[in-house]
Each structure stands twice: as C-alpha cells, then as structure tokens.
C-alpha cells in the first residue's frame, strides 16, 4: 500500500510553470528524498503535498484518500500530515512539553501527558520538558521539532531542509537518530534537501528532480551506479565524459583504452559517451616508452590527510583524482590514465 501518490501534478507561479506533470509514489513506512538543484521544484512539491498550495492539474492521494485533483481540495489541517521546517518553527514562549503537546487538542490532559512523556523518551530529551527553546542546542531543538511533528501520529511526515542549520560535526549523528525515530514510529516521510550526503544517509529512496519532474526514482545505490540520464549522473557526483564506442555488451573503446563494465548493457546505438567518476580513474607514472597510451597533465594537488588529491586534465576536462597510497606526482607532470572496470554509464548520442 502507498502512503502518498502524486499523479500528473502541475503548478504555475506568476506565469511560470514550476511543476510539469509530476508523478511520485511513497510506499508504506518509506522515507523518500526529493533531491535536486535549487529551483527544480522540490519545495513546491512539498507544499502541494501539504496543501499549502493548490495544484490545478493532477491528483494527490494520502493513504488512498483523494486530497487534491483540481476540483477536490482538502485543507492542510485535515490531511493528517506532520511537518518539520528548516528553522524548526518552535514556539519560543512555550516549554518543550507544551511545544510537543501543541497539536494534541483532541486528547484529555492525562492522554496528552502520556504522549508527551512517550515522545520525550523517544527523542532522548527526558529532563528537558520544562525548558524553553532558547535554552536548547540546535540538535535538541531539532529533536523537539520531530517529537511535535510525530506526537499526533500523522500518516505522512514532510521535512523541508531540516538539517541545514545544524553544525556539520553533529549533523550525521542527528540524521541517523531522526531516521531511527521515524522508523520506530512507522511513519512514511518525504524529505527535501539539496545535499547528496544528507539524502544518502537519511532516505530509503531518492527521487531526483529536474525542471519540475522526477527524472529518476530508486535506491541511492541504483541511481548512483545506473543513472538514467546525464542530469542524474552529474547531480549525484563529479565526473567527466569520454567519447566511447560500444564494442560488446561489456566493453567500450575510449581514447584511454577499452573500458570493461561489470554489468551487461543492451545498446540501440554504438556511438556515445561514458561518464567516469574520480574513484574509477587510476593515475600511473609515465615511466614507460609506450607512446600509444593517452596522457593527462597534473595541474595541482592538495593533501587531505590520508592521500593526495590531484587535479588533472583529461580530454580537456578537469577532475580531481585521489592517488593510491604511496603515489606522488609533480605539478605539470604527465601521467597515464587507466579507467578501472566498473558499472559503466553509457549514454548514446
């Protein structure tokens, strides 16, 4: 059963089309991340799900209930959703306990207290019930926000850039903790971010957005290794394009030799490009007399603690490649490029 279904959702703002027939499905207890560059429509999609804007085209279903289709429109407070914002949106004049209890208007006093106690225990804030938001750290405020959003047991949780104001040192610890909380409560969630690292750590499924549509949806591993388009490949990580001819289902001829793929591909066309990421490139000292091997030039280097990272020019494109342990190269040095066997991303021309 799906917790959320969007079918052909379109939205215009000031004469500009922001969403273009967008389709999205979120399964039961699934965390889906809307990931994409600024202006691609992520937050607009979240607002359409929440009912903060009304899409004039397309349908929105929450727990199989139609909440919007251009004729029907269910207001936000009747969609049984929880929301968590970038700035937490806690009430500064209310204590932690009262912030969590704010949405529990249908419960009596004893029920409210029981639920607040449950949420304080869940988010590891027992002993903080009587504090005010300004007396908490950013991470603690984040936990109060998630407790308040989950307190009345919503069908769907919406999170808009919730970690952007958290210090880098504690961000991924907090991400893991809030993911645990959501999974414990068995709530489906839609999470918006522009950070690939946050998306990989937090979500079950990625939905890459491009120009108001879902370009590709799948697990982080699926999208990283097998992007369906250049836009998805480029967004999920730095790389370079090399001209290539598909020789077989697993072999591609490039200017840097034949590259082997560990996955079979069916090709409609033989001529195209492969997208190569830094970890798939090996730098080799040019101490050979082999004149047929293609060279690249070292532009500069930087030390990252465990290795040196070199900026090299390959096929007139710059890319940073980490050297193997013990390797070192000089600026302007010519090196031989080897493309390691990997799951090749081949895009036909």
- Give residue-wise pLDDT tens across range 181-222: 999 999 999 999 988 999 999 999 999 999 999 999 999 999
**Structure tokens given for 228:** 């369906």
Q: Are residues 122 and 225 in the same domain?
A: yes
**Structure tokens given for 72:** 């029907």
Predicted confidence (pLDDT) per residue in 96-109, tens digit: 999 999 989 889 99
Q: Are residues 225 and 248 in the same domain?
A: no
Give how far Cα 177 sits from Cα of 158, 183, 266, Å. Answer: 17, 10, 42
**φ, ψ for residue 6 (rounded to 5)?**
-115, 130
- Single out the residue in 230, 253, 272 at which a domain terminates: 230
Q: Are residues 131 and 8 in the same domain?
A: yes
What CATH number corresponds to the domain at position 113?
Answer: 3.40.50.300
Q: Are residues 123 and 193 in the same domain?
A: yes
Q: Is 85 exposed, middle or buried (0-12, 13-18, 19+ CB in 10 A)?
A: middle
Q: Are residues 59 and 181 in the same domain?
A: yes
Mean pLDDT of 312-318: 93
Q: Is residue 101 a contact partner of residue 112, using CB atoms and an 8 Å limit?
A: yes
Q: Are residues 45 and 187 in the same domain?
A: yes
- Single out the residue in 176, 195, 230 at which a domain terminates: 230
Q: Categorize the per-residue pLDDT at 291 as very low, low, confident or very high, splitting at 50, 70 and 90.
A: low
- Single out the residue in 230, 257, 281 at which a domain terminates: 230
Q: Are residues 189 and 214 in the same domain?
A: yes
pTM of structure: 0.88
Average pLDDT over the chain reads 91
Mean pLDDT of 312-339: 91
Q: Are residues 66 and 183 in the same domain?
A: yes
| pLDDT for residue 292 | 60
Structural domain including 131 reads: 2-230
Predicted confidence (pLDDT) per residue in 35-49, tens digit: 998 889 999 999 999
**DSSP-assigned states of every residue in 256-291:** TEEEEBSS----S-SEEEEEE-GGGEEEEE--S--S
| pLDDT for residue 289 | 55
CA 154 to chain centre: 23
Q: Please indicate whether residue 88 or residue 122 has the higher confidence score (pLDDT).
A: 122
Closest by CA position to 319, among listed 305, 292, 290, 339: 339
Q: Are residues 12 and 86 in the same domain?
A: yes
**Structure tokens given for 68:** 């919007």
Q: Are residues 96 and 54 in the same domain?
A: yes
**φ, ψ for residue 116 (rounded to 5)?**
-65, -45
Q: Categorize the per-residue pLDDT at 118 as very low, low, confident or very high, splitting at 50, 70 and 90.
A: very high
Q: Are residues 242 and 224 in the same domain?
A: no
Closest by CA position to 321, among listed 274, 259, 276, 279: 279
Alpha carbon distance 134, 61 (integer Å): 38
Closest by CA position to 224, among listed 275, 261, 270: 275
User: What is the percentage of the chain residues whose pLDDT exceeds 70?
Assistant: 98
Tally the domains of the chain. Answer: 2
Q: Are residues 257 and 289 in the same domain?
A: yes
User: What is the percentage of the chain residues whose pLDDT exceeds 90?
Assistant: 75
What CATH number corresponds to the domain at position 277?
Answer: 2.40.50.140
């Amino acid at each position: 059963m799906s917790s959320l279904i969007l079918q052909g959702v379109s939205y215009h703002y000031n004469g500009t089309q922001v969403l273009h027939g967008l389709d999205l499905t979120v399964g039961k207890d699934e965390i889906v991340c809307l990931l994409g560059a600024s202006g691609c429509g992520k937050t607009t999609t979240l607002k359409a799900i929440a009912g903060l804007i009304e899409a004039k085209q397309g349908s929105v279903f929450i727990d199989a209930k139609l909440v919007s289709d251009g004729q029907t429109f269910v207001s936000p407070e009747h969609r049984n959703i929880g929301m968590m914002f970038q700035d937490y949106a806690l009430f500064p004049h209310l204590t932690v306990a009262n912030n969590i209890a704010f949405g529990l208007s249908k419960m009596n006093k004893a029920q409210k207290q029981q639920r607040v106690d449950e949420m304080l225990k869940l988010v590891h804030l027992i002993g903080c019930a009587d504090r005010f938001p300004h007396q908490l750290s950013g991470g603690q405020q984040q936990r109060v926000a998630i407790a308040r959003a989950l307190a009345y047991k919503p069908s769907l949780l919406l999170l808009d850039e919730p970690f952007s104001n958290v210090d880098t040192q504690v961000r991924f610890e907090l991400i893991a903790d809030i993911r645990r909380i959501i999974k414990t409560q068995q709530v489906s969630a839609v999470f918006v971010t522009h950070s690939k690292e946050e998306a990989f750590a937090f979500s079950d499924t990625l939905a890459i957005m491009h120009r108001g549509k879902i370009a590709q949806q799948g697990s982080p591993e699926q999208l990283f290794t097998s992007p369906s388009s250049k836009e998805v490949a480029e967004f999920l990580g730095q790389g370079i394009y090399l001209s290539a001819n598909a020789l077989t289902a697993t072999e591609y001829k490039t200017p840097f030799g034949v590259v082997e793929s560990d996955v079979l591909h069916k090709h409609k066309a033989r001529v195209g490009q492969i997208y190569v990421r830094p970890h798939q490139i090996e730098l080799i000292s040019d101490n050979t007399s082999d004149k047929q091997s293609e060279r690249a030039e070292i532009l500069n280097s930087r030390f990252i603690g465990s290795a040196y990272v070199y900026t090299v020019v390959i096929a007139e494109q710059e890319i940073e490649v980490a050297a193997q342990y013990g390797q070192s190269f000089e600026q302007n040095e010519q090196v031989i490029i080897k493309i390691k066997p990997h799951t090749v991303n081949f895009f036909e021309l």
